[in-house]
Chain A
Amino acid sequence: MRHDFVKQVLVEMKKNPNIFFLTADLGFNALESIRDKFPDRFINVGVAEANMIGVATGLALNGKTVITYSIASFLTLRCFEQIRTDVCYHNLNVKLFGAGGGYNYATHGVTHHTVEDIAIMRALPNMQVMCPAYSWEAAGATKAALTTPGPTYMRLSKNPGTDFSQSKWQFKIGQGYEIKPGQDIVMISTGNILDLAIATAEKVESVLKKKVSVISMPSVKPLDHKLILTKTKKARAIFTIEEHSLIGGLGGAVAELLLSSLIRPKLFKSFGLPDHFIKNVGNRDYLLDQAGLSANNLSKQITSAYLKYF
């Protein structure tokens, strides 16, 4: 996905001489092409995230569109106040691209696990929050972020194994995509944990003999209200899956929407990461499994909840 991001950035920077690229000393084996092609608009600000956001703010106040890049946890947590007060308060064209959301930096340890980013970014006025799953979503979200005004935060992770999306789809901010059709149960997922949602849906279908829809929601803010409410109207149960804390992420956003609308699902449950640090050592799949995010566990929970209610 990082490759898709870089490719799209090269296209956009060529088109728009006002785009600057700042990195907080990250990008080895990834950003060299941008640095070499646009040396005057590429700055390594050093290991200084707060300064990066401040400098980006200054550039944007003078009319530039600024990409800021670091590991997602540092980009969102270390300089949160600069993002809020400098970028969002002034509503500037500063775009935050965070590498490795969720457990994508698994064996690096808890400092590099990014499991609160969606919640805190979503709470900021003016901020748009993107969490793409596939290459085309990442490229589309990058293009959209760089061609629409205002602040954007985007998570860059690894692509899921298989791409089930349709070739005619175009990326639009605020739009969800139904990867797998179905009407009885709806599973909404954001980011590259989508493959787990699909695997879970298949298991649930084979047990319950019900049709399960899987929706990829690369845009968490703004959220595709229309799609969610339309699907909820017909479905009996809604589930969300995300590689993020259960507090304040996609599940929170969908719950807020459903509770404040007249269309209520009979059954709703969000799946995500528990409210404690997972200190176990292992790769991404291992950590997700430790956190309870496996197709076996999720499908068991969904089927038992479903059978209890219906």
Chain B
Amino acid sequence: MPSKITKKIPLAKVSKLSQEIKRLIVEMGYRSKSGETGSALCISDIMAVLYFRVLEINPKKPELYDRDRFILSKGHGGAALYATLALRGFFPKKRLEGYRMDGGTFHLHPCTTAGPGIEVSTGSLGHGLSIGAGIALTMKQDCPLKKVFVLMGDGECNEGSVWEGAMFAATHKLSNLIVIVDENKFQGFGKTGEVHTMDLAKKWAAFGWDVFRTSGHNLKELEQMIIKAKLSPRPAVVLADTISGKSIPKIENTLLAHYFIPDDETYQIHGKKKRL
């Protein structure tokens, strides 16, 4: 039986879900007194569009072979993945309480055995694309209608292994492989454009990929571009323009966003569940 196509939740509802993902990220960071908040917040809209509009998956049968695959290659956005999987019904929201806690459930970086729906254990940058290419290679034959999505960071594109994978995917015409690059323009210790010259569109195109550009926060545009990428006859990359630390004004577009540990004030405004 093919996996159930994601029920098309109206975009307005997806927007609400995305807000809830962001709230859960702040709550998890506040509870565990841990950082990497900004790196998760900036992909929340992408995660919401993927899991509630695009991915053909069935939370009740997470290991069904005939399904889309999602790899969070930028594993430091793990909190966004866990919150999304919980909201999508892969596991109860209560599991999020063990995020980065002693004897808890989730590391910062995803581990496949930590919960259903985590396809690949990641955390070291530059691994996800080659793994995705290997998966896509078998799926071209075994379940040709399904796709492999790999979400990477723009800083991650510094890694040489990314470009080994990019060459491989183009050579093997892996049209079922879609990379989304979260272009938040910051990396570990500087702005991406300052650490490296970063014309990613030209680079991916030169490696034989179809390149699409979109806002990483406009849900409608994001979905349209991801669908275009899905239809592309070659491996395709969606460069998503995002804001590091999205939704918390005091850290938006700062290097600090990556390391920000939600404080009391941030928790009260952005993390606490509002009673309706």
A: which residues have CB within 8 A of B?
43, 45-46, 48, 50-51, 53-64, 81-82, 85-86, 89-90
Contacts and interface: CB of A to CB of B under 8 A. Distances in A.
A203 to B, nearest CB: 49
A57 B112 contact: no
A52 to B, nearest CB: 8
A53 B138 contact: no
B131 A48 contact: no
A218 to B, nearest CB: 29
Given A46-B167, A55-B137, A62 B142 contact: yes
Given A61-B120, A85-B127, A86-B131, A51 B161 contact: yes
B168 interface: yes
Contacts of B119: 61
Contact of A90 (B121, B129, B167, B172): B121
B200 interface: no
A58 B126 CA distance: 14
Contacts of B127: 54, 82, 85-86
B138 A51 contact: no
A46 B168 contact: yes
Contacts of B120: 57, 61, 90
A86 B128 CA distance: 9
A51 B130 contact: yes
B246 to A, nearest CB: 28
Contacts of A53: 130
Contacts of B83: none
4 A-B pairs closest in CB distance: A58-B134, A54-B130, A51-B164, A55-B134
Given A54-B131, A58-B137, A59-B137, 5 more contacts: A51-B164, A51-B167, A51-B168, A62-B65, A86-B131
Contacts, number: 85
Contact of A62 (B126, B139, B172): B139
B123 interface: yes
Contacts of B121: 85, 89-90
Contact of B168 (A48, A61, A62, A85): A48
B135 A85 contact: no
* Of B124, B131, B161, B172, most A-chain CB atoms within 10 Å: B131
B57 interface: no
A48 B65 CA distance: 28
A58 B132 contact: yes
B138 A59 contact: yes
B36 to A, nearest CB: 18
Contacts of B178: none
Nearest to A49: B164
Nearest to B126: A50
24 contacts: A46-B167, A46-B171, A48-B164, A50-B130, A50-B164, A51-B161, A51-B164, A51-B167, A51-B168, A53-B130, A54-B161, A54-B165, A55-B137, A57-B134, A58-B130, A58-B136, A58-B137, A58-B138, A59-B135, A62-B142, A63-B138, A81-B124, A89-B111, A90-B112
Nearest to A81: B124
Contacts of B142: 62
B135 to A, nearest CB: 4
Contacts of A54: 127, 129-131, 133-134, 161, 164-165
A89 B129 CA distance: 17
Given A85-B123, A85-B124, A59 B134 contact: yes
